[in-house]
Chain A
């Protein structure tokens, strides 16, 4: 009885206080906008994060799928939402770095429209080469590219695969023609059929055992625990490191205390064994960055991707 009187008083105080501040937050469920269809990689990760946040803040976190236009529909909606801590966004480096860089129709800004809460996983990019080329490592790849006019596939214009490959070509001083496909899977099929020679994409890991494709390198700092046989580019003497990531954001200007309250439980989640196991099964790498580090990775990646974009001339218009 005593408790409920107290709760009532607290509720009254919060009504009097009016706007949203860290004291009365969360008074109602939080909405998490996910810019892709349910069931996909981003959605699965988003739901894990939503559950972890909900358990910590004592209010439900409702996932709201808003797919379309490569994630831009959901991201635009989230960027324009009230910054009261009741709307958050589960994005990735495509929605929060690449799209604002290549698509002039995108109205939000990568750096200033969102405040980072945390990242929960990284997506390592692997390079797969059709086995007909005889290429088995990066040295061989560079030699092949110098001797042949090769073609590479990607999941589309402005995809992570196109950026990664262009980055590789720029760093090694080689050239290849970009052939865009609709989605990674169609490009993988094109390598198996010999239509194109190579691609850089997380999806090629499914072909590690295939006799038709050689997976020759991973562009992350360390080898992927799920695919320990694939050496990193750095090991092979190429200073190439470029990873995708998945992260949670709040509209710009959200109270830092609210952001901290949602970031802390994600650190515990990413550290948990069950989460790590699940994320590795999906071919990803668990990786927590706190709010400041998430903001920093957006700034850093924006610089790197701007440079790649300008050198390769990647754009949607």
Chain B
């Protein structure tokens, strides 16, 4: 283990490799901050350039873009309610409220710390237990995926401030919108109306940016040019209070655990991890009653979750040769082009590559942390730019970002439609976050539910007879029971007291 890590650092610390790591994480950080432009576009554009450098350097740089983007993604969420990546949509909820409370600096500081801790623990898991974790992940079949997603949706009703009914209604709306597109199980097109662009479903990035970012801009149009409270940027206001720090620590641990788990499961990933982390903070944190009003847990938890997920996502890719998402598939493709063969044999065949990557990931996280903290002053300073200058610039960036995902003008219309929808929902006081979660989880849930039944020849008992799925089923029933029975009991008691 120590020998392996020494080998890894030997590879990663050579001047040239370190430079590529730095370039990678810087690009990642930058595209993470830019709304809409994701790591997928950046990595695919840079892939051809890497043919001219060594495979290890190439992968270190491309991976750096991937996890670097997770660091940057939260910046625009916190400052402008504009999710840079889909996985940071949920950070808008408390992050932007913190900005409105004048705590933008502290939110950014804590998000950098949470990212670093989450990322570091993800890397430790990868270094110590990659093969074991990959085999554990393989024990999750379609039945378990379905129940995991169901558990998420049950918990999602808590994503809303206030009425659980409104939250639930938004989850359902999200699931309904998620139905649009090609049904992967039967090959049937739903609500596509001859638009091939809709065959792949509604764009997740366009929906997240429209619902959060554009709706914020729309609701400020015609309003007074009210500047957000900006602290005088000094080391003192940037550093979180002792209280904020203590509150965020448990959220970071929980977020890291959730993120590490979802990262290793192929087909899930950092977006689902950050939503689950937020939902768990709504249930478990000390300030759960005030979540959504600018609580640090709502930033630190999801931020730790999406960064640890970004690291552990490498586990199935490298040890099984099975990439969990589109970006990982692209990285796997890059490895194959470079003649590296990821899979069970990688640890034996090319240990210097595997351990070099592990070591570089940690160095990359360290660079990102060191890089990020001094930037906070600059980011917060951006809040002083008046709306009339800032918003047109943001609009241009958002539109370019949406277009860049698949070079489609149609996606810009989707963005605008979701912006209008988001504005209407705001006016009617319906929360947008459960809608995005429904959109993410709905199609996955349906696909896995129907596949489970196909695998079990139509027997519904399949969900109860497998050990892991049985546990998940019990957990769902328990949560539902608590949510329904407890209010019922207290209502009956109150009624009883009233009658006496």
> Which residues of A approach B to under 8 Å, CB–CB?
37-41, 43-44, 47, 64-70, 72-73, 76, 102, 105, 151, 156-158, 177, 179-183, 185-186, 188-190, 192-193, 195-196, 206-207, 209-211, 278, 281-283, 314-317
Contacts and interface: CB of A to CB of B under 8 A. Distances in A.
Given A37-B406, A193-B141, A157 B186 contact: yes
Interface stretch (B110-118, B194-202, B226-234, B471-479): B194-202
Interface centre among A65, A158, A186 (most CB of B within 10 A): A186
Given A182-B267, A189-B266, A40 B333 contact: yes
Interface centre among A72, A185, A314 (most CB of B within 10 A): A185
A211 B345 CA distance: 10
A72 B316 contact: no
20 contacts: A37-B44, A38-B41, A39-B333, A66-B406, A73-B408, A157-B184, A157-B187, A182-B447, A189-B138, A189-B267, A192-B138, A192-B320, A206-B342, A210-B320, A210-B321, A210-B343, A210-B344, A282-B337, A315-B187, A316-B187
Given A39-B330, A151-B454, A189-B266, 8 more contacts: A40-B44, A67-B406, A69-B196, A157-B186, A182-B184, A182-B447, A315-B187, A316-B187
B199 A72 contact: yes
Given A157-B186, A210-B343, A179 B451 contact: yes
A13 to B, nearest CB: 36
B367 interface: no
A125 to B, nearest CB: 17
Contact of B455 (A68, A151, A186): A151
Contacts of B451: 179-181
A213 to B, nearest CB: 10
A39 B43 contact: yes
Interface centre among A181, A188, A189 (most CB of B within 10 A): A189
B343 A68 contact: no
Interface string B319-341: 01111000001101110110101
A43 B47 CA distance: 11
B49 to A, nearest CB: 11
Contact of A207 (B48, B343, B454): B343
Interface of B: 40-41, 43-45, 47-48, 138-142, 182, 184-189, 192, 194, 196-197, 199-200, 266-267, 316, 320-323, 329-330, 332-334, 336-337, 339, 341-345, 406-408, 447, 451, 454-455
B343 A186 contact: no
A105 B333 contact: no
A183 B330 CA distance: 13
A64 B407 CA distance: 9
B184 A156 contact: yes
Interface centre among B47, B184, B322 (most CB of A within 10 A): B322
Nearest to B324: A185
A210 B346 CA distance: 11
B199 A186 contact: no
Nearest to A158: B187
Contact of B185 (A67, A180, A195): A180
B386 to A, nearest CB: 38
A38 B199 CA distance: 19
Nearest to A75: B196
A317 B320 contact: no
Contacts of A156: 184, 187
Given A69-B200, A156-B184, A179 B454 contact: yes
A67 B336 CA distance: 22
Given A68-B406, A185-B322, A188-B322, A37 B196 contact: no
A317 B343 contact: no
Nearest to A64: B407
Contacts of B196: 68-69, 72-73, 76, 105
Nearest to B349: A209
B262 to A, nearest CB: 15
B266 A185 contact: yes
B333 A41 contact: yes
Contacts of B197: 68-69, 73
Contact of B188 (A66, A189, A317): A317
B259 to A, nearest CB: 20
A181 B189 CA distance: 16
A206 B317 CA distance: 11
Nearest to A43: B44
Contact of A68 (B140, B184, B321, B408): B408
A196 to B, nearest CB: 8
Contact of B336 (A68, A158, A192, A281): A281
B405 to A, nearest CB: 9
Contact of A189 (B322, B334, B342): B322
B187 A186 contact: no
B320 A189 contact: yes
Nearest to B343: A206
Contacts of B44: 37-40, 43
Contacts of A65: 406-407
